[in-house]
Chains A and B, each alone.
Chain A
Amino acid sequence: MKSLLLPPHPKERRVVFQNAWTQGYTPDIDCYVKHGGYAELKKALGMKPEEIIDEVKKSNLRGRGGAGFPCGVKWGFIRHDDGKPHYITCNGDESEPGTFKDRYILHNDPHQLIEGMAIAAYALNVHLAYIYIRCEFPKAAGIVAKAIEEAVAKGFLGKNIMGSGFDIEMYVHQGAGAYICGEETSLIESLEGKRPYPRIKPPYFPAVLGLYMSPTIVNNVETFCHVKQIFKIGSDEYAKMGTPGDGGTRVMCVSGDVVRPGPYEIPAGGVTLGELINDVCGGMKPGRKLKAIIPGGSSSKILRAGETFKMKVKGPDGEMVDKEVPLLDLVMDAANLAAAGTMIGSGGVIVMDDSRDMLWALNNLNQFYAHESCGQCTPCREGVLWIEKMTTRMVNGEGILQDPAILKNVADNIAGRTVCAFGEAASWPVQSFLEKFPEEFAVKSH
């Protein structure tokens, strides 16, 4: 990836990406250990499990898989001594369109992930852990499996790790081409060898009834890597890199119509959307103007160039005051994007310029969701197919006057009425494209 071969942009701070693109850095264990690898596991094994969870809480690390749940809080749901087996599974399904960070970690720095998972396993009293990797990363699966073997050979995994008396078994499990397996309960069903129909929450929160109906923590690849870094940097320092409630750095994956697309690791809240696009990514392609931004993976609500958001921001005397914030001044962290009515999600920023047709773009996404619905619940299974049929018809010049209203109605009747959040993921693009670019849909309906 070209951007990663460049020296870090001044706005970047490479923490989980610090080694992956260093000249001569290789994914084998000797190289990792030479760069200080597994020192944090050793540190953690000298701590009490509760102390580890407290450190993760203090770091303000939020999950990097999309939902942004505070990692330490999630870990806190596990009762250490409930007498049940516990499991962790790493979510390496990375299939939210616009997201491309985990693939680099899996290929270039697998031991960072394994070390983060080993720390988690010890803290959560887990002896069996799986890394679920989408099968479209065949090389990554081989690299990670080899890294696990190396870690076992050196005593960082397996029986009695580093002489602690603690055992961890870890395996790679490959997916089979279905986006829905990124949803954590679907991932668990897939790992159990079943059709990956998501489970309904409640009661099936993974931390309560997860893999094999036992307490299970599912975390994203990047999240586990941050865990390792928290113990290297210290939870206070780590938290300070970000904003209150959104600690550390986050890999923002920028794609679409910018000069330098790529993954950029940036402190949470460390750039505005304008700085990200214009400074870090070199701006729009020559002669082009910004038209629209999908800020947090294809499921997040789209934003329109020139729009402003009414939100509360900290004034000069520290008091919260109402302010109108222009799109390009939006600070890139979880809270600000939520206040703008969208989300930071998985960090996948898709940028589109003034040559792009929004109906065409929405139809592309609708085709994705129509292909990927697991089919378990009626509003989603039927709704996403109808939505896709309608926008395809509109793209083909056969739209009717009522189409925008019907589209909105179908989307409104999916979101909130399904087993899993795929329902929202598929509806939000439709709702937000229609709301932000009504004129483009009106033109195609007659």
Chain B
Amino acid sequence: MDTHAATSSGPKQADQIPADLLANIDEAVTHYPVSKRSASLPLLHLWQNHFGFIDASGVNWIASRLDLEPINILELVTFYPWFRQEAPGKTIIRVCRTLSCALAGSYDVREKFCKAAGIDPSVSGHHHGPPVSPDGKYSVEFVECLASCGSAPVVLVNNDLHEDVTEADIPNILNQYAS
């Protein structure tokens, strides 16, 4: 598996910005009348939501859009766990790792998700970018408390929170996002 391939090959993201992304970026900047720099995070989110990750051209483009140096954007991409410089799976599975979910079996849940998606569960991905399944369909990672500890264990799949997840639910959840 070479997740770096996506960043080093293929066309630059900055050469393929669609009109609606541009419009959303312009709109987001208006939310910060005091300082354009405040729009850094929103622009990174818009960019990543569209392209799946942020390549070097994206860092440069966002920096110049906000009259910043590229390092001002790159240091955000490298600090915040949410941002990626590599392509994730098409469906992103984030299993909560923290105490209440761990008490309710989240370590098993992550392992079963990995196995069902064809990912080696010994690659944790917690600190180093998530492992992606060989077919590119899924990435599975641990994240910290998702603020739903009362219905542990919980799993965020793309934008959907699944609560009280049991092993038996896993095939169904994966199927839901298969297409």
- Return the contact of B150 from the options A196, A253, A364 (Cβ within 8 A): A253
Considering only residues 190-228 of chain A, those with a C-beta below 8 Å from chain B are 190-196, 212
CB-based contact A95/B145 at 8 Å: yes
CB-based contact B102/A364 at 8 Å: yes
Q: Does A7 contact B (CB under 8 A)?
A: no
Say whether, besides A100-B149, A261-B151, A177 and B81 are in contact (CB < 8 Å). Answer: yes
- Return the contact of A352 from the options B39, B103, B143, B152 (Cβ within 8 A): B103
A195 contacts which chain B residues (CB < 8 A)? 75-76, 79
Question: Number of contacting residues on B, CB 8 A?
Answer: 44
Interface band, chain A: 35 or more
Say whether, besides A179-B144, A350-B100, A136 and B150 are in contact (CB < 8 Å). Answer: no
Shortest CB distance A98–B (Å): 6
CB-based contact B81/A99 at 8 Å: no
B174 contacts which chain A residues (CB < 8 A)? none
CB-based contact B44/A97 at 8 Å: no
Query: Which among A59-67, A167-175, A238-246, A267-275 touches the partner chain?
Result: A167-175
CB-based contact A298/B31 at 8 Å: no
Across the two chains, which residue of chain B brings its CB closest to A181? B80
CB-based contact B99/A350 at 8 Å: yes
Considering only residues 253-269 of chain A, those with a C-beta below 8 Å from chain B are 253-257, 261-263
CB-based contact A176/B83 at 8 Å: yes
B41 contacts which chain A residues (CB < 8 A)? 173-176, 190, 193
The answer for the CA separation of A255 and B99 in the assembled complex, in Å, is 10
Shortest CB distance B12–A (Å): 23
CB-based contact B144/A255 at 8 Å: no
Across the two chains, which residue of chain A brings its CB closest to B30? A171
CB-based contact A99/B149 at 8 Å: yes
CB-based contact B144/A371 at 8 Å: yes
Considering only residues 44-78 of chain B, those with a C-beta below 8 Å from chain A are 44-45, 66, 72, 75-76
Say whether, besides A103-B148, A128-B34, A212-B35, A177 and B99 are in contact (CB < 8 Å). Answer: no
CB-based contact A350/B79 at 8 Å: no
Shortest CB distance A176–B (Å): 4
CB-based contact B150/A3 at 8 Å: yes
Q: Does A356 contact B (CB under 8 A)?
A: yes
CB-based contact B143/A1 at 8 Å: no
CB-based contact A371/B80 at 8 Å: no
CB-based contact A192/B38 at 8 Å: yes
CB-based contact A212/B34 at 8 Å: yes
Across the two chains, which residue of chain A brings its CB closest to B44? A176
- Return the contact of B100 from the options A97, A128, A134 (Cβ within 8 A): A97
Shortest CB distance B158–A (Å): 8
The answer for the CA separation of A190 and B3 in the assembled complex, in Å, is 28
Q: Does B170 contact A (CB under 8 A)?
A: no
Q: Does A94 contact B (CB under 8 A)?
A: yes
Across the two chains, which residue of chain A brings its CB closest to B160? A139
CB-based contact B31/A178 at 8 Å: no
Q: Does B166 contact A (CB under 8 A)?
A: no
B82 contacts which chain A residues (CB < 8 A)? 135, 175-178
CB-based contact A99/B98 at 8 Å: no
Say whether, besides A135-B82, A193-B41, A98 and B99 are in contact (CB < 8 Å). Answer: yes
The 10 A-B residue pairs whose C-beta atoms are closest, nearest first, are A177-B82, A176-B80, A193-B40, A255-B149, A193-B37, A255-B100, A177-B81, A97-B145, A176-B82, A261-B150
Q: Can you name 23 A-B residue pairings with CB atoms under 8 Å?
A: A1-B151, A3-B150, A85-B34, A97-B99, A97-B100, A98-B100, A99-B147, A136-B94, A136-B143, A136-B146, A138-B159, A175-B41, A192-B37, A193-B37, A193-B38, A193-B72, A194-B72, A256-B100, A261-B100, A348-B149, A350-B103, A365-B98, A368-B145
